[in-house]
Amino acid sequence: MKEHIKDNLMNFFIIVTLVNIAIFVSGSLLAPEQNLNYTAFLVPIIDGLLGTIPGLVMYSKRELTFRQMIIREIIQLVSIELIMLFFTFGFSGFGIEKLNMIIVVAVSVAVVYVLVTLIRFFLDSRSAKKMTDDLRTLQKSLSASETQE
């Protein structure tokens, strides 16, 4: 459980960083003349918190099969999409006049989700490689000390 909370905390910081980048890119393209106020700095933090909720809720103590992991990832993505769209537009804010903005938010959320998943994969792979290398070094040192005895 402690490791799961640590993973979600890491996801939070990655999400906040990527949301900042997404806001910068989409804002520069769609509304370059608009200035932001200080409350805009809270949006990535709130998005980070909202984006980690499905990961916290869908915690499983048992090892999942590959198929179960894929289904879980899809459910998490759909959950995060819905949470972000409702947070951004509210329950009554979905209209044809906001379709472009809804699409931009939905695509941004999907891109951030995929990037978080890829970043975590590469970080986890790097950690696994380091642990494997450390184990090999330990095995070599233990077998070298056994041959000396």
| pLDDT in 10s for each residue of the chain, 149 residues | 688 888 889 999 999 999 999 888 888 888 888 888 888 888 899 999 998 888 887 777 788 888 988 898 899 999 999 999 888 888 776 677 778 888 888 999 999 999 999 999 999 999 999 999 999 999 988 887 777 66
Helix residue spans in the chain (DSSP H): 2-30, 42-57, 66-89, 99-148
Q: How much is the pLDDT for 100? A: 82
Q: Which residues, other chains included, contact 12 with Cβ-Cβ below 8 Å and sequence gap of 6+?
A: 48, 49, 51, 52
Q: What is the number of residues in the chain? A: 149
pTM exceeding 0.95: no
